[in-house]
Homo-oligomer: A and B are copies of this chain.
Amino acid sequence: MKLYSFFRSSASYRVRIALGLKGLAYDYHPVDLRSEQDLSAYLSVNPQGLVPALEDQGDIFIQSLAIIEYLEETHPQPPLLPSTAAQRARVRGLAQVVACEIHPLDNLRVLNYLGGPMKQGEEVKLAWYRHWIAVGLGCLEALLKDHPATGRFCHGDSPTLADICLVPQLYNARRFQCELSPYPTLLRIDAACAALPAFQNACPEAQPDAG
Of residues 141 through 199 on chain A, the ones whose CB sits less than 8 Å from some CB of chain B are: 142-143
Chain B residues with Cβ below 8 Å from A207 are: none
| Structural contact, A65 and B113, CB atoms closer than 8 A | no
Q: Which residue of chain B lies nearest to A99 when distances are taken between CB atoms in the complex?
A: B100
Of residues 60 through 112 on chain A, the ones whose CB sits less than 8 Å from some CB of chain B are: 61-63, 65-67, 69-70, 73-74, 85-86, 88-90, 92-93, 95-97, 99-101, 103-105, 110
| Structural contact, B65 and A100, CB atoms closer than 8 A | yes
C-alpha spacing A47/B90, complex, angstroms: 14
How does the 8 Å CB contact mask read for A105-138 relative to B, with 1 for contact and 0 for none? 1000010010001101000100110010000000
Which of B89, B105, B139 is within 8 Å of A61, CB to CB?
B89
CB distance from A113 to the nearest CB of B (A): 7
Chain B residues with Cβ below 8 Å from A63 are: 92-93, 96-97, 100
Q: Does A27 contact B (CB under 8 A)?
A: no
**Size range of the chain A interface in the assembly:** 35 or more
| Structural contact, A89 and B110, CB atoms closer than 8 A | no
Chain B residues with Cβ below 8 Å from A37 are: none
Of residues 6 through 58 on chain A, the ones whose CB sits less than 8 Å from some CB of chain B are: 47-50, 57
CB distance from A124 to the nearest CB of B (A): 7
| Structural contact, A61 and B90, CB atoms closer than 8 A | yes
- Write 11 A-B pairs (CB below 8 A) sorted by A numbering: A61-B89, A61-B90, A63-B100, A65-B100, A66-B96, A67-B93, A69-B89, A73-B85, A73-B88, A96-B99, A100-B103
